[in-house]
Amino acid sequence: MEELRAWRGRIGAELDAVVAFWERHSHDPEHGGHPGPPSAPGTPKSPPNFPPRGFFSCLSRDGSVYDDTKFVWLQGRQIWVYSRLYRTVPRFRRPELLEAARKAGEFLESHVRPEPGSSRAAFALSRDGRPVRLQRSFYSEAFCALGLDELGRAAGEERYRRGDTVVLENVSPEGEELPGSLGRLMNPGHALEAAWLLLQFCHRRGDAALGARVVPALLQGPLKWGWDPQHGGLFSFLDADGHCPTQLEWSMKLWWPHAEAMVALLAAQRFQPQPSLVSQFLQVAQYTFDKFRDPEHGEWFGYLNRDGSVALSIKGGPYKGCFHVARALLMCEEMLDAILEGEEPPQ
């Protein structure tokens, strides 16, 4: 428990640093954001009624913006992070954090539809909010709903909330495995994310029987076959029959599966305490902090080569923004508090 207590302190400090990084660098100062950390002494205040323009996500290692395109799903994700932190963590209950989320929410409501009355959302917007790219996927709509719903909870305003949203993965019409390499594809990160989502459901429902099935199938299995025995870390993709995956990045180590693994292991330990789960958490957390964390400029690198060396030095882009790292650190902090306080698992 002392090791977990030490990790609780490290994770809390890292969450503070990660949020500060995005506050410092992602807000658009010309089009409605704050030019720096709002709580820092001497920080210029934004003028009243400034037009909402959202967040930058394409950030270099030092936080400088290399592309001012605003990706809608990352806008929604950052709104969720800010709003959830404001609503649930006392030290983040700062008006400027909620205001940044609110302005970004207004930005989405004003600009996200490619044409008036459309039920679709653009995938990417120009800096001033013009739709520049559409996709057939539903990620933009899903994360807009997720972010705005959490903003409504944090702000206490029903106008942001659109009701419950259910998103399902594609399966065959009969629910059977698809043929060929597509059907054999395994993604450790998605399996681990599914694990903690189901474990949260089991914890709230007190369903120990379902949780006992989740841990071996969606947690221990993916950690066993997904972990690189040579270099450590989780592969991005694998083939169930041992063939070489067709995805070019299959052997890379990406930030988000490791963040999901940390959350999943603590969710399992909270639900069904086992010394082996603590050992696995310590292994994954140590690898993650050693390889992804940037002690010089803050935040995490997103893309590593198989050997753990940095492949891309950027801190954000079309797929990485202020979401997975902050969400994982927040959830780990909350679950470590519960574990260290001796919360009783479901029976």
Q: In which residue are the tokens 């060396």 written?
A: 309
Q: Residue 297 pLDDT more than 80?
A: yes
The Cα 319–Cα 106 span in angstroms is 22
State percent of the chain over pLDDT 70: 86
Higher pLDDT, 322 or 41: 322
Task: Please say whether the beta carbons of 292 and 300 come within 8 A.
Answer: yes
Q: Please choose, from the candidates 262, 317, 321, the residue with its C-alpha nearest in 3D space to the C-alpha of residue 286.
A: 262
Residue 243, pLDDT > 60, answer: yes
What CA–CA distance (Å, rounded) separates 87 from 179?
45
Say what the pLDDT of residue 201 is: 93
Find where tokens 């592969």 sit: 235
Gyration radius of the chain over CA positions: 20
Q: How far apart are the C-alpha atoms of 83 and 100, rounded to whole Å?
A: 9
Banded pLDDT at 177 (limits 50, 70, 90) = low
Task: Classify residue 293 by its DSSP letter.
Answer: B
- The full DSSP string for 200-231 is HHHHHHT-HHHHHHHIIIIIIHHHHHHB-TTT
pLDDT at 51 over 60: no
- What is the mean pLDDT of the segment spanning 308-322? 97
pLDDT at 35 over 90: no
Tokens linked to 144: 């807009």
Decide the pairing of beta strands 303-304 and 310-312: antiparallel
Residue pair 253/287 in contact (Cβ under 8 Å)? The answer is no
Determine the average pLDDT of the residues in 32-51: 40
